[in-house]
Amino acid sequence: MLGYCYENGIGTNIDLQKAFKLYEKAANLGNNIAQYNLALMYKEGKYVDKNINKAFELFEKSAKGENLNGINMLGYCYEYGIGTNIDLQKAFELYQKAANLGNNIARYNFALMYKEGKCVNKNDGKAFELFKKSAEGENLSGINMLGYCYENGIGTDINMKKEFELYHKTANLGNNAAQYNLALMYKEGRYVDENYERAFEFLKKSAEGKNLRGINLLGYYYENGIGTNIDLQKAFKLYKKAANLGNNIAQY
């Protein structure tokens, strides 16, 4: 926890070097939370050079110590081949284990597998149930995806009121995907009155949060003067940024 304080500037200045050393010390002594935190530093290249193999090794140790975040992230590594080969069966089993033990991020990841039919038969009802549990645990991605389910009738009836409320809640808590979705509702006048200025405001927040669709669409707003003045230079820069990060609409 002293490492966590140094990493996040809690009661002291941020010092990633001290955070790393403290996590490493506690991890080597068997603390599974420290193993998880240290793994994240290696995964993200935070203070140390990015090392996905080391990250995987530490997530595995954390998971063996029954740390729920570690179990979930080990599943994530198996799903996307981070420091190991892709193994969707292992990912599914690890998400299921952590989800059943109450981890809200794992519930979200597990729900996505059911929604996409990844390693398991597609099951919208099961996906909705898991997104709902994740949302009840205040997981922002879960709340946003629950809104998406209500928007598109995935495992439930379409309910624009619930959709709007969930997107609004998550957007105000800083979820950039929800900010993007809420911006669309204001732009299209879906459930709420059409409001381009409000749409622009939420879209700008989404872009600031590095949401690629948000960055691209903000460029479109600047190009066409939607909720703001036309500014082709800003439009160009935003398209270029999103394009370089792989957004194919921005590339277009």
Task: List per-block mean pLDDT (blocks of 10 residues) for the chain, which spans 252 residues.
Answer: 97 97 97 97 95 97 96 97 97 97 96 95 96 95 95 96 95 95 94 94 95 96 96 97 96 97
User: What are the CA-CA distances from residue 181 to residues 10, 99, 190 (Å)?
Assistant: 33, 26, 11
Which pLDDT does position 43 carry in this prediction? 96
What is the pLDDT at residue 17?
96
Residue 77 has a pLDDT of 97
State the pLDDT at residue 180. Answer: 96
Q: What is the DSSP string of 99-118?
A: HHTT-HHHHHHHHHHHHHTS
Domain range list for the chain:
183-251
Question: What per-residue confidence (pLDDT) applies to 101?
Answer: 95
49, 132, 140, 163, 168 from 171: Cα distances, Å: 33, 17, 9, 12, 5
Give the pLDDT confidence score for residue 108 in this predicted structure.
97
Q: What is the pTM of this model?
A: 0.87
Crossing angle of the two packed helices 160-172 and 176-188, in degrees rounded to 10? 130
Instruction: Return the CATH number of the domain spanning residue range 183-251.
Output: 1.25.40.10
